[in-house]
């Protein structure tokens, strides 16, 4: 946990610091990001950082918690209920992921790489994994079930897993070149053709259509 000194700072200042750190971690990863760069990005002195956090690892963990906070605030809180159909909710959710990525690209990049090296390295320190997304999707499916929207004889758990897969890999495609190319492959896009986010959304919506009534 961050030191008291840090907690006395204004929320605004705290977020400025997290933003600077997130930018560095997103660009180069945990090991690649240097304290010097982070301090410059966060607009604080080298010494100040060590007044706020014990060390680099603690700072990284705090940035991860800030990720969680952002997802909570910007994604899950906004979609507690299905307004219309499941299909529309899925579309809205995918669009919200895009907005989220536009607003917080660095945090999203860090989050989506959680499965990667560094996160595992620190996983024993991260008490509660980020299962908000999964939880949210499960609720989404349950509501749709109640509204009788689901045609296919598929279990709620299975369907929510299936949908969450789309969300995870769509998010990855915003961040990783590899996943962008993977979408491009399955959409049969030629190298010279543009691939828009709307193309990907349409593809996903098309994919789930036969599942729904």
Partner DNA sequence: GATGAATGAGACTTCATTCAT
Partner DNA sequence: AATGAATGAAGTCTCATTCAT
Q: In angstroms, what CA-CA distances link 96 with 91, 126, 171, 207?
A: 8, 26, 11, 19
Select 100 or 141, whichever has its Cβ closest to a second copy. Answer: 141
Select 45 or 207, whichever has its Cβ closest to a second copy. Answer: 207
**Residue 209 and residue 86: Cα distance in Å, rounded?**
10
Within residues 147-176, the interface with a second copy by CB under 8 A covers 152-155, 157-162, 164-166, 168-169, 172, 175-176
Burial (CB < 10 A; 0-12, 13-18, 19+), residue 74, is middle
Q: Minimum CB separation from a second copy for residue 73, in Å? A: 21
79 φ, ψ to 5°?
-130, 50
Q: Tell which one of 2, 14, 48, 203 touches DNA (CB under 7 A).
A: 48
Select 51 or 147, whichever has its Cβ closest to DNA. Answer: 51
What is the per-residue DSSP string for 56-77? HHHHHHHHHHHHHHHHIIIIIG
User: Binding string to a second copy for residues 87 to 126, with x set by CB under 8 A, is what?
Assistant: ----------------------x--xxxxxxxxxx-x---
User: Which residues of the chain form contacts with DNA (CB under 7 A)?
Assistant: 4-5, 8-9, 33-37, 44-52, 55-57
């Amino acid at each position: 946990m961050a030191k008291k000194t840090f907690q006395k700072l204004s929320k605004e200042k705290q977020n400025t610091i997290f933003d600077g750190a997130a930018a560095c971690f997103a660009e180069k990863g945990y090991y690649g990001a240097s304290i010097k760069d982070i301090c410059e990005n966060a607009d604080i002195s080298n010494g100040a950082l060590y007044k706020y956090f014990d060390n680099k690892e603690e700072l990284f963990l705090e940035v991860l918690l800030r990720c969680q906070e952002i997802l909570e605030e910007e994604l899950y809180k906004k979609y507690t209920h299905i307004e219309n159909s499941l299909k529309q909710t899925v579309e809205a959710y995918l669009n919200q992921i895009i907005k989220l990525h536009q607003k917080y690209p660095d945090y999203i990049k860090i989050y989506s790489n959680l499965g990667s090296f560094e996160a595992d390295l620190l996983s024993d320190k991260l008490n509660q994994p980020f299962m908000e997304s999964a939880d949210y999707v499960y609720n989404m499916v349950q509501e749709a079930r109640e509204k009788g929207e689901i045609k296919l004889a598929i279990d709620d758990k299975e369907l929510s897993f299936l949908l969450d897969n789309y969300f995870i890999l769509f998010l990855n495609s915003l961040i990783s070149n590899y996943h962008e190319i993977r979408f491009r492959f399955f959409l049969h896009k030629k190298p010279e053709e543009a691939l828009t986010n709307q193309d990907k959304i349409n593809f996903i919506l098309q994919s789930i259509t036969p599942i729904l009534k």
